[in-house]
């Protein structure tokens, strides 16, 4: 990794004589393992932070300018305290501005800032790189301004500013995973209650492979909106006297789903069946991991992908093929599509000695589909934190 502190000092050497240190923070990428297509008002997801990071360095300026430097691309952006707003042409720096706005709203932004970003989280493949950048920035700024604010409040304020900047809702889950994840466990996030809990795992001898299918994705937001609409319509039909937030997984623990869903239109029935089964799978997976039953964990993960393929219909032939190769490889304990779907990535939990065999099985992918997959080897990681102050 490059020394971001040294890069920062070189970029902003004209401000080097100012009092105060450079504050450096880092935040990990994240991968969803189960549940990301659930209804946010009552569902949970099982996820992990991964050991690919974005680093952010912050220091004071002599003037009221805000200067941003992306070390990876050697790109520079600028703004000011009085003009801290979204601009389409500012692209990646809008996420940093949203993070800065958290502290401007607290009355802490009275002088300009220099900010340097260096990233190792692959972009635009569903690993939350923009959210990671925001979290690394707010963690650095919290220390820089010496603000006494809880993690929960910090996330809440950042979500508020992000939504105001970009004009659309964002997920609490991604922020909570990136900030609260543990290197020795997976994390379960309850989106509605805004609570997290860690499921301990012994990952010694294992890796997680993330396969970028390289499939181009078009108009997937419309497809996903339709699926979310179908799910909400289904729950409203089943429970007309209940608010969505009153629904929970315990309501389906001993219910015959075939009978429960039999009166729904076929498409809505399939979407509902997947979401309810996925709610059950979160609890089943937690129990399997606590018992160190990787065989059961594997079966649950494979079944989840089958549901994404056959019921929720969010996978594609390319990701199905990648998952199938995982099922055929000894030492793979679960493989599944992750993220929005319709392309994107799959993951596989795999014994380290089985990685060469699995990669060999993927050699035919480009010949069959015309895309060359990119494979990332990762492991669970600790949540966002300070590197130096």
Catalytic residues: 174
Question: What is the DSSP code (8-state) at residue 316?
Answer: -
Answer for the pair 384, 377: CB distance below 8 angstroms, yes or no: no
Round to whole Å and give the CA distance between 163 and 7. 31
Q: Which of 359, 190, 188, 366 is nearest to 285 (CA)?
A: 188
Answer for the pair 190, 44: CB distance below 8 angstroms, yes or no: yes
Round to whole Å and give the CA distance between 101 and 11. 23
Collapsing DSSP to helix, strand or coil, 371 comes out as coil
Q: Which of 344, 364, 379, 305 is nearest to 35 (CA)?
A: 305
Round to whole Å and give the CA distance between 270 and 161. 36
The H or E element that residue 355 is part of is: helix 355-361
Query: Roughly how many angstroms between the first and final C-alpha of the chain, as a whole number?
Result: 19
Question: What is the total residue count of the chain?
Answer: 389
Round to whole Å and give the CA distance between 334 and 294. 9
Q: b/e for 60-85, b at 16 or more Cβ within 10 A?
A: bbeeeebbbbbbeeeeebebebeebe
Q: b/e for 229-247, b at 16 or more Cβ within 10 A?
A: ebbbebbeebeeeeebeeb
Round to whole Å and give the CA distance between 180 and 346. 23
Round to whole Å and give the CA distance between 137 and 313. 36
Answer for the pair 186, 46: CB distance below 8 angstroms, yes or no: yes
């Amino acid at each position: 990794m490059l020394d971001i502190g040294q890069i920062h000092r070189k970029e902003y050497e004209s401000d080097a004589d100012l009092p105060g240190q450079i504050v450096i923070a880092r935040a990990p990428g994240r991968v969803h393992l189960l549940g990301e297509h659930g209804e946010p008002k009552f569902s949970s997801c099982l996820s992990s932070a991964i050991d690919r990071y974005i680093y952010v360095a912050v220091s004071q300026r002599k003037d009221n300018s805000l200067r941003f430097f992306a070390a990876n691309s050697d790109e520079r952006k600028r703004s000011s305290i009085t003009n801290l707003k979204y601009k389409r042409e500012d692209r990646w720096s809008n996420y940093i501005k949203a993070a800065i706005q958290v502290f401007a709203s607290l009355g802490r932004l009275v002088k300009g800032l220099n900010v340097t970003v260096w990233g190792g989280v692959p972009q635009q493949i569903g690993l939350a790189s923009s959210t990671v950048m925001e979290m690394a920035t707010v963690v650095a700024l919290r220390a820089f301004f010496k603000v006494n604010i809880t993690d929960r409040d910090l996330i809440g304020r950042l979500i508020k500013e992000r939504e105001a900047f970009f004009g659309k809702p964002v997920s609490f889950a991604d922020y909570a995973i990136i900030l609260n994840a543990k290197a020795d466990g997976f994390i379960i996030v309850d989106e509605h209650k805004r609570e997290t809990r860690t499921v301990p795992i012994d990952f010694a001898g294992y890796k997680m492979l993330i396969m970028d299918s390289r499939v181009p994705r078009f108009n997937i937001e419309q497809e996903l909106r339709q699926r979310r609409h179908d799910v909400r319509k289904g729950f409203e039909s089943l429970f007309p006297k209940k608010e969505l937030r009153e629904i929970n997984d315990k309501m389906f623990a001993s219910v015959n789903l075939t009978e429960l869903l039999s009166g729904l239109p076929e498409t809505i029935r399939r979407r509902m069946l997947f979401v309810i089964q996925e709610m059950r799978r979160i609890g089943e997976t937690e129990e399997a991991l606590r018992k160190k039953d990787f065989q059961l964990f594997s079966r649950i993960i494979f079944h989840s992908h089958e549901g994404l393929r056959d019921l929720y219909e969010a996978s594609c032939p390319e990701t199905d093929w990648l998952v199938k190769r995982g099922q055929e490889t000894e030492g793979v304990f679960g493989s599944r599509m992750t993220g929005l779907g319709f392309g994107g990535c799959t993951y596989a939990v795999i014994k380290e000695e089985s990685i060469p065999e699995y990669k060999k099985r993927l050699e035919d992918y480009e010949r069959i589909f015309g895309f060359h997959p990119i494979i990332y080897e990762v492991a669970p990681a600790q949540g966002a934190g300070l590197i130096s102050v």
